[in-house]
Amino acid sequence: MSKLKVLVACEQSGVVRDAFRNKGCDAYSCDILPNNSEFHIQDDVLKHLDEGWDLMIAHPTCTYLCNSGVHWLHKDPSRWDKLAEARGFFNSLLNCGIPKLCVENPIPHKYAKDGDNGIGQYTQIIQPYQFGEDASKATCLWLKNLPKLIPTNIIKKKRYANQTPSGQNKLGPSKDRWKLRSRTYEGIAEAMANQWGEA
pLDDT, tens only, 19-68: 999 999 999 999 999 999 999 999 999 999 999 999 999 999 998 888 88
Q: Does pLDDT of 153 surpass 60?
A: yes
Give the Cα separation of 34 and 43 in Å (integer): 9
pLDDT for 180 equals 44
Where do the DSSP E strands lie in the chain? Answer: 5-9, 26-31, 40-42, 55-58, 100-105, 124-126, 139-144
Q: CA dist 95 to 2, 54, 101, Å?
A: 25, 14, 9
Pairwise CA distance, residues 106 & 60, whole Å: 10
Q: What is the pLDDT of residues 86-145, one digit of tens each?
A: 999 999 999 999 999 999 999 998 989 999 999 999 999 999 999 999 999 999 999 999
The set of residues, in sequence order, having a beta carbon less than 8 Å from that of 23 and lying 6+ positions away, is 193, 194, 197, 198
pLDDT (mean) for 179-186 = 71
